[in-house]
Amino acid sequence: MTESTETSDVSQASAQASDGAPKVVQGLKDMADLVSLCKRRGFVFPSSEVYGGINACWDYGPLGIELKRNVKERWWRAMTDREDIEGIDAAILMHPRVWEASGHVAGFVDPLVDCKKCKSRFRADKIDAAALAAKKCPSCGGELTEPRQFNLMFKTFMGPVEEDAAIIYMRPETAQGIYVNFLNVQQSSRQKIPFGIAQIGKAFRNEITPGNFIFRTREFEQMEMQYFVKPGTDMEWFEKWKQMRIQWHLDNGIRKEKLRFHEHGPGELAHYARAAFDIEYEFPFGWQELEGIHNRTDFDLGRHQQYSGKKLEYFDEEAKERYVPYIVETSAGCDRTLLVALVDAYRFDGDRVWLALHPALAPYKVAVYPLMKKPELREYSEKVYASLKKHFRVTTDDAGSIGKRYRRQDEIGTPFGVTIDYDTLSNHTVTIRHRDSMVQERVSAESLVRYIEEKFESWGK
């Protein structure tokens, strides 16, 4: 068995393989490798693939949905295990006035330019400034049109007769469902400021230039938390949430050197925001936003008061004070967090591909294998499988050589493999193999659950 040692990204140092050749462990270089792994192993499929697919829409397969549920569960627990945060699940379709108040009808626009020659479309703010000034298409060099403003909200009709029906929008963010429920939640839960409301849900944006796999899609999920604070304490809370959010990504096992903050300068800062930082990740296609942390002041509640005519104030019983709270927002993409987990975990040593996923995110925690398809090994292995299943998500595989079976699990990020062989039958010990180091240890079948739990604990929360 060969061994490889890994450093953070493209490693120079490495252990000797058994044939003496050095093994160099690399991270993901080409998104196509990940897209193909995801399709082959059932993480992500192109949507409506039998019809040729639909641009920038993707379906999660059996392993993808497990990974996604793990991402959401970790986020949800990190938020709602706190005494000061409540959860909510608001409707996707909202009163059309919501989007006037929020500024989306007038302002949720991106500048769009078209290439007259190759017909490609670009977001003017995402292409090179020199190319834009020269009106030169970045892909074919053809002439670009003047930028046009393009609203990103999907419109639809509510009501059976299209002509009379009201135009409504598919929500482009989950946050508004939280703002309009601020008083409902506060009064029903009897929370006192400061407190937060968390929500996970779908959002829709008619993006001009979707792409890079599930990085930018037209239908996606957000994990947003809006924290309501007393004006004057907002910057303090903003700083706290910035730190807590980057720590959450680190706790998911994401490499520190691949994460950074990007502060919105005066030109980038939204009109409502007093301060905004993005948490960025270094993808193979460059540093890109993963999550936004924004100090939104009293803009949102203030606007909903104005447009609805309803007071959205908080009454502080102790201070006998009434005010419109300020909001500190943390807004992460669920699909993007999942993409970061996959990109960051991808490892290749010239021979073996594995996903070094944090065990809390891995779709399966353990795989159990009978060394051969012999009834007595199978029977033992089924018992081990059943006992582990009470504690972890477990899978089993008895097809092909043991080496091939290990590789199959490495590729989907299963942290441990447990092999039952003839020695197991006589001395009740099994081989446990570690995904990342490929180290194999012999442990008693009885102590397996404790052994795995301890390893997971040492991995970090």
Q: Residue 292 Cβ, how far from ligand ATP at the closest point, in Å?
A: 4
| Residues 116, 122, 123, 125, CA torsion sign | negative
Cα–Cα distances in angstroms (integers) from residue 284 to residues 55, 226, 346, in the given order: 21, 31, 11
Is residue 331 part of the contact set for ligand ATP (CB under 6 A)? yes
Is residue 424 part of the contact set for ligand ATP (CB under 6 A)? no
State how far the Cα of 61 lies from the Cα of 45, in Å rounded to an integer. 7
Plot region of 152 (φ>0 → left; ψ -120 to 50 → alpha; else → beta): alpha
Question: Which of 140, 199, 141 shows the shortest CA–CA distance to 173?
Answer: 199
Is residue 280 part of the contact set for ligand ATP (CB under 6 A)? no
When the beta carbons of 331 and 424 are compared against ligand ATP, the nearer one is 331
Helix, strand or coil for residue 74? helix
Q: Which of 41, 216, 249, 296 binds ligand ATP (CB under 6 A)?
A: 216
Is residue 275 part of the contact set for ligand ATP (CB under 6 A)? no
Q: Which of 68, 171, 205, 435 binds ligand ATP (CB under 6 A)?
A: 205
Q: Which residue is nearest to ligand ATP (CB)?
A: 333
Is residue 217 part of the contact set for ligand ATP (CB under 6 A)? yes
Is residue 333 part of the contact set for ligand ATP (CB under 6 A)? yes
Q: Residue 172 Cβ, how far from ligand ATP at the closest point, in Å?
A: 8
Is residue 332 part of the contact set for ligand ATP (CB under 6 A)? yes
Query: Mask of contacts with ligand ATP, 146-185, x by CB under 6 A?
Result: ---------------------------x------------
**Contacts for 204 with CB less than 8 Å, ≥ 6 apart:** 92, 153, 154, 170, 171, 172, 218, 219, 220
Q: Residue 148 Cβ, how far from ligand ATP at the closest point, in Å?
A: 17
Is residue 226 part of the contact set for ligand ATP (CB under 6 A)? no
Strand ranges inside 265-350, DSSP E: 275-283, 286-297, 314-316, 321-323, 326-333, 346-348
When the beta carbons of 205 and 365 are compared against ligand ATP, the nearer one is 205
State how far the Cα of 461 lies from the Cα of 171, in Å rounded to an integer. 34
What amino acid occupies position 56?
A
Is residue 325 part of the contact set for ligand ATP (CB under 6 A)? no
Q: Which of 102, 191, 222, 409 binds ligand ATP (CB under 6 A)?
A: 222
Whether residue 62 has a cis bond before it, omega within 30° of 0: no
Question: Which of 26, 44, 24 shows the shortest CA–CA distance to 35?
Answer: 44
Candidate segments 234-242, 285-293, 347-355, 367-375, binder of ligand ATP by CB under 6 A: 285-293
When the beta carbons of 173 and 344 are compared against ligand ATP, the nearer one is 173
Query: Where would I find the H helices in 55-119?
Result: 62-80, 96-101, 104-107
State how far the Cα of 305 lies from the Cα of 40, in Å rounded to an integer. 51
Looking at the DSSP bridge assignments, the partners of residue 419 are 369, 431
396 in Cβ contact with 369 (< 8 Å)? yes
When the beta carbons of 144 and 175 are compared against ligand ATP, the nearer one is 175
Q: Residue 254 Cβ, how far from ligand ATP at the closest point, in Å?
A: 14
Is residue 329 part of the contact set for ligand ATP (CB under 6 A)? no
Which phi and psi angles does 194 have, rounded to 5°? -85, 140
Q: Which of 3, 33, 289, 382 binds ligand ATP (CB under 6 A)?
A: 289
Task: Count the residues of the shown chain that bind ligand ATP, applying the rule CB under 6 A.
Answer: 16
Q: Which of 137, 290, 366, 402 binds ligand ATP (CB under 6 A)?
A: 290
Helix, strand or coil for residue 59? strand
Contact positions with ligand ATP (CB under 6 A) in 292-311: 292
Is residue 291 part of the contact set for ligand ATP (CB under 6 A)? yes
Is residue 64 part of the contact set for ligand ATP (CB under 6 A)? no
DSSP assigned state of 269: S
Is residue 207 part of the contact set for ligand ATP (CB under 6 A)? yes
Rule CB under 6 A: which residues touch ligand ATP?
Answer: 173, 205, 207, 216-217, 220, 222, 289-292, 331-333, 335-336
